[in-house]
Each structure stands twice: as C-alpha cells, then as structure tokens.
Amino acid sequence: MSKYWSDVVHRLTPYVPGEQPKLTNLVKLNTNENPYGPSLKVIEALKAEAADSLRLYPDPNSDRLKSVIARIFDLQSNQVFVGNGSDEVLAHVFQGLLKHDKPLLFPDITYSFYPVYCGLYGIQYETIALDKQFNIDIHHYARPNGGIIFPNPNAPTGIPLALAKIEQLLRQNTHSVVVIDEAYVDFGTESAVNLINTYPNLLVTHSLSKARSLAGLRVGYALGNKDLIEALMRVKDSFNSYPIDRFAEAGAVAAMQDSGYFEETCAKVISTRDTLVNELHALSFEVLPSGANFIFAKHKKIDGEELVVKLREHSIIVRHFKKPARISPYIRITIGTDNQSSSLIQAINVILKSV
C-alpha cells in the first residue's frame, strides 16, 4: 500500500501465475506447458531473426502472421487479431468488447484471470454455477448480460463442452459477444472456429503456449467477425502498437506452418493423458473427463493440498486451487512425457501407502 497508488491499484487483486521454479531437477507438471520443445523450424526461424534488422521496429500489424493464421482457419486476415500471449488478447477483449452496463457472465469455476480483468477495467460480472458434474449448463446463461466468456475445454477442470451446445448458446444469445477461450482446444476438444462466419458475435481465442510449445515466446490470437477484430485493434493501438516483436512473429509463423510437428506432439500428449487416467483410476482416483493437456483428479484418502505438498517432496510439482471449496479436494496435473507420468505414478504409490 502506498499513498502514491491510484484507487484502481489499491483495489486490484492480481492473478497469481503457477510457480516457475529456479530448480531444474523437478518434474514440472504445474503450468500446462508442453513437455516437447517447439518445432526445429521455429528454432531455425528464431536464429535467422537474430540480425541487424532488430534495430528496426517490427510490423505493427503482424500481417505475415495474421495471413498464415487466416489461411489455416479459412478466414480473412481482417478476422484475425494477434497479441502478446492470449492473456494480453483477453485483456483487450475484456476492455473492448465485454465492458457494458449489463453484467458479464462466466462460470463460478473457471480461468481465474477473468475476475482479475474485471477488477482492472471496472467490469461488473456474475458467475454462473457449474452443475454437479462440473459441466457448463448453457440454459443458465439465458439472462440479461453484457457478454459471456468461458474456456472450452474449461479450466481447471479440463471438461469440454460439445460444439452443438455452443451453437445453441449462440442462437439463444445474439445481442452480446460470446467469447470461447480455446487455449487447450487442440488436445481433443471441438473448436467453434467454423461458426465464426455464421455468428457475428462469436470470438474465439487461441494460444501458442500449449499445443505449439511456445509459452516462452508469448503469442496468442483471436478469430472473429471483422468488426470485433477492429475493436481489438483500436484497443491495441491505444496501448502498445508493437505487441509482437520480430522474434515472436518469426517463431509463431514457423510454428503455425509446421502442422506435422503440431499434430504429432498433440497426439503424444493425448496418448500419455489416456494412459495416465487409466493408471490413476486403477489407484482409485476420480478423474474428470479431459479434453485438455491437463487433468483434474481427487482421491478420497488424501486432500488436494496435502497431496501437492507430498508430491513436492518427491520433486514433482502440480497445481492446487484452494477456492472455491468444491474444487479444493482436487489437484491439476499437466500432462508430461511418458517418463514423467511414470515418476508421478511411482510417487503416488508411495504416498498412498503412507496415508
């Protein structure tokens, strides 16, 4: 606290990111990164970018990256917005498209950055309870609102919502923007991108941090009707004209173009996830259905918080959320390599014998 702070800063409750440990010998399954490095084509592109041209500003509109993304999704470049990680894209979405007189709606259990943006931008919101099985029930969103946002699959549960339900939501909610945050969509969830040309109020956000193995480069993008994209451009150009630096654009272009590597690594993560879920079931864990590169699991003999502490003693880090109380028994495990999964299962076997 300081008398020099603005009122807004006094009132903020900032987001707390998962730990990035300084120790290198840990099995790191806590922040949903990809266990496989980026495509070698990305590394080549980054090396080529380390040149005299770094003295020049990058393209403020990231036209090359936008056109590569547009081609992949069969859209026009003016239907694509790119930013410094999907968190930055989401920040602009909250400010530019979701701040209205009526409240923004999102699930009570979801990505914990959403209420933080609301605090930063003074957006009023209402949370809508997930059902008993932690599913989003779109009927509960049929109420006055200034916008709707949720991740698909949801976080931190990992549960996907069927595309038919999203289309039903778009049919029932035509007067405000519906944002589907597809940060984890490539691990077995149906994307809503193909609905963009039918529903002018649909905005879909994607991240290169997960399926494209580029959390360290910070690139994300939004896809939607050109009027929605123009709103985001107006916010960006009132904030930072160059969110995508020369390295980020070169690396992101190479990553988006290497579809073979992307498909191969996603398939490996999905296969490791399926094996891990079976092994956890065999140890009497309850695991929520996942369409993501993480799973949400609980065991009746040990609380989530205690399990996280015990796993850390085995040099394995996973994530725990204390609030709301309903999810406190669970731990969120990022899917790693097969070897990392084996270490996890070995550690859990030892821990369960001691409780």
Ligand X SMILES: Cc1ncc(COP(=O)(O)O)c(C=O)c1O
In the complex, least distance from residue 319 CB atom to ligand X, rounded to whole angstroms: 10
**Strand 178-181 to strand 220-224: parallel, antiparallel, or no bridges (unpaired)?**
unpaired
CB of 68 to ligand X, least distance (A): 17
Shortest distance (Å) from residue 46 CB to ligand X? 18
Nearest approach in angstroms of CB 43 to ligand X is 19
Enter the tokens of residue 208. 């290169």
> Residues 228 to 247: which contact ligand X by CB under 6 A?
none
* Near ligand X by CB under 6 A: residue from 96, 107, 158, 220: 220
**Which is closer to ligand X, CB of 58 or CB of 151?**
151
Q: Which of residues 186-215 bind ligand X (CB under 6 A)?
A: 207, 209, 215
- Within residues 133-152, the interface with ligand X by CB under 6 A covers 151
Q: How far is CA 349 from CA 29, 145, 243, 301, 331, in A?
A: 17, 47, 46, 12, 16
Q: At what angle do helices 246-257 and 63-73 cross, to 10 degrees?
A: 20
Residue (68 or 179) nearer to ligand X, CB: 179
Tokens of 123: 């957006």
H/E element holding 105? strand 104-107
Contact 121, 94 (CB under 8 A): yes
Q: Counting contacts by CB under 6 A, is residue 292 touching ligand X?
A: no
Concatenate the DSSP letters of all residues of 256-323 into one string: HH-HHHHHHHHHHHHHHHHHHHHHHHHTT-EE---SSSEEEEEBTTB-HHHHHHHHHHTTEE-B----
- Residue of the chain from 33, 49, 87, 249 that contacts ligand X (CB under 6 A): 87
Give the binding range for ligand X (CB under 6 A) out of 58-66, 82-90, 226-234, 318-326: 82-90
Does position 27 bind ligand X by CB under 6 A? no
In this structure, are strands 147-151 and 178-181 parallel, antiparallel, or unpaired? Answer: parallel
Question: What strands, in cross-sheet order, belong to the sheet with 220-224?
Answer: 80-83, 220-224, 202-207, 178-181, 147-151, 104-107, 125-128
In angstroms, give the least distance from the CB of 200 to ligand X.
23
Question: In the bound complex, what is the minimum distance in angstroms from residue 53's beta carbon to ligand X?
Answer: 26
CB of 209 to ligand X, least distance (A): 3
Q: Using the rule CB under 6 A, which residue among 105, 155, 222, 316 binds ligand X? A: 155
Q: Which stretch binds ligand X (CB under 6 A): 42-50, 62-70, 79-87, 122-130?
A: 79-87
Q: Which of 39, 62, 86, 341 binds ligand X (CB under 6 A)?
A: 86
Measured CA to CA in angstroms, residue 252 lies from 45, 174, 282 at distances of 9, 33, 40
Residue 294 β-bridge partners: 334
Residues at the interface with ligand X (CB under 6 A) = 32, 85-87, 111, 151, 155, 181, 183, 207, 209, 215, 220
